[in-house]
A = this chain, B = another copy of it.
Amino acid sequence: MPRPEPISRRDRPAKPPLSRAAILDAAVDVVHRDGAAALTMRRLATELDTGPASLYVYVRNTTELNALLIDRYLSELDLSWDGREAWRERLQRVVDDYAGLLASQPGLASAALTTWPDGPHYLDLLELLMRLLDAAGIDVETAARGVDLLLQHATASAAEWAAHATPAGQDLADLTETLNAATAERHPSLHRAGSTVFTSGTPDERTRWATTAIVNGILAGASEHPRR
């Protein structure tokens, strides 16, 4: 009896050896197909045709996996600045881009909130932001705090945006309903403001407004130490 031909490479590609890079590639595939929420150690192991335990040889834990993945996604962003575009415009754009990137895959943002992305592209992002704030005439210490705040804002916005887009999340109607409970007696300011003030405008526009406010705040004497 003839030994059966091995299945051709084309039909069933040879199982590639595991490596950090191979794991990250598979992670990108999973996120692309089923969203970041589907990216679990077990799912990733299935994808790589192995058991979950094998991944732990290359990745310390889920947190580290997420940190690596975000850096990987960051590589798709334009993080250059020729110095000709006004710093304000460039800053607005990179913050928008970063928030958009994190929001593009539900779950990526919430990972970014509890994880410092770790890798060369994240450094590129930090470098760009520091350059822009330096161009704005802001001293290094203040700039570092500003970068922190801007990234926090971008990440949190993306997380909120993503959370309310999932089926388990609440939607805007819930908040409006809550606000309708505001009475003229106990909550006069809210009552006067109406139940839609907190939800007017597009999420995009609201995020841009906030970014502008933060930048203005950094410029407006934020180098002073806050009073207790």
Q: A residues engaging B (CB < 8 A)?
A: 61-63, 67, 88-89, 92, 110, 113-116, 118-120, 122-124, 126-127, 130-131, 134, 140-141, 143-149, 152-153, 155-157, 159-160, 163, 168-170, 174-175, 178-179, 181-182, 186-190, 192-193, 197-198, 200, 205-206, 208-222, 224-227
In contact, A170 and B127 (Cβ under 8 angstroms):
no
With A67-B170, A146-B213 known, 9 other A-B pairs at CB within 8 A are A118-B178, A124-B186, A127-B190, A130-B190, A134-B189, A140-B192, A143-B193, A144-B200, A214-B214
Residue of B nearest to A71 (CB): B178
Number of copies: 2
- Our pick among B115, B118, B206 for the contact of A148 (Cβ within 8 Å) is B206
CB distance from A150 to the nearest CB of B (A): 10
7 tightest A-B CB contacts, nearest first: A217-B217, A114-B163, A213-B217, A144-B197, A130-B189, A156-B156, A212-B226
